[in-house]
Structure 1
Amino acid sequence: MNICMFTNTYLPHVGGVARSVSSFAEDLQKLGHNIMIVAPTFPTDEAHLEDHNVLRVP
C-alpha cells in the first residue's frame, strides 16, 4: 500500500511527533508498505540523511 504521512515537524527536530512519525513509517515499511513523509523545511536545518522518502516543503 502507498501511504503518505503529513507532519508539521520531523527529524532532525526531536519531539514526540517526529519520533512517532518516524516509528510508524519504519514499522509500516517493514510490513512492505511504501511510505512518503511530507514535512516542512526550516531555515536552520542542516543537510542530513533521511531514513524514508521525505518531501520537504517550505
Structure 2
Amino acid sequence: MSPTLTRFIEHYKTAKGYKSRSEVISVALNLLQEKELEKAYKQADSEIDQDWDGTIGDGLSNL
C-alpha cells in the first residue's frame, strides 16, 4: 500500500474514531461492495424494464 494511502487511512481512523486501520479498510470495502451491488441491481432492473417493454402489449388489445 502506498504511503499516501497509509497516511489517509491513519488520519481517517483518528478523525472518525475507528480502533484500527483494518477497521477503516473493512468499512471502505463494505461501501465499495454496496456500490457494486447497487450498480448490478440497476443493470438488472434496466434489463427487466427492456424485457417488460417488449412484452407489455403481447396479446392485449386496447379496449
TM-score, shorter chain, exceeding 0.5: no
TM-score (norm 2): 0.30
Q: Which has the higher strand share?
A: 1
Higher RCO by CA contacts (8 Å cutoff, separation 6 or greater): 1
Larger radius of gyration: 2
Q: Which has the higher helix share?
A: 2
